[in-house]
Amino acid sequence: MGEVASSFEYGLNAAAKEFDGVNKYLRITDIDDSSRVFKDDDLTSPDTDLSVASNYLLHDGEILFARTGASVGKSFIYRESDGLVYFAGFLIRAKIKPEYDPEFVFQNTLGVPYEKYIQITSQRSGQPGVNAQEYGEYTFLVPEYAEQKKIGGFLRQIDNLITLHQRE
């Protein structure tokens, strides 16, 4: 993962407040466990001066990882359609390099090899956790960019179909 990401960054350490109508705050609990989408049923905003928090704003294709607790390993890919979103402190953001397809990278966090890596890596004497360096050490095979786009797009379509059928 460290080769496909230009950086790993920890989130904003701020409390959540009532949603201000514009600025969304993404916490671990706001990511749906099965579909990995941003749940918009209980939106909040960060309770901090946002004029100095722009480095915590998400951009299209950035991937978030839960770093501690029962949700460790949970991942999320930000899409522009999610709106103006800041990410919280128990999340780690991976900025994907332009020569890699973010959707392909994200899809690699939804399978059994990733789950096994998280299970082994997160074992601690207390609360489970995986830090940015450990996320960077996760390995997976990466084909050429054109093939990444095809695989990532195909798997996203399948995810969308599954979500649609679950709603029915």
Q: Residue ranges of the domains in the chain?
A: 5-167
CATH number attached to the domain at 5-167: 3.90.220.20
> pLDDT tens across 25-82, in order?
999 999 998 889 899 899 999 999 999 999 999 999 999 999 998 899 999 999 999 9
> pLDDT tens across 100-146, in order?
999 999 999 999 999 999 999 998 767 899 999 999 999 999 999 99
Q: Is 10 exposed, middle or buried (0-12, 13-18, 19+ CB in 10 A)?
A: middle
pLDDT for the residue 125: 64
Q: Please give the Cα distance from 26 to 52 (Å, whole number).
A: 17
- Cα–Cα distances in angstroms (integers) from residue 23 to residues 54, 56, 87, 110, in the given order: 11, 12, 11, 28
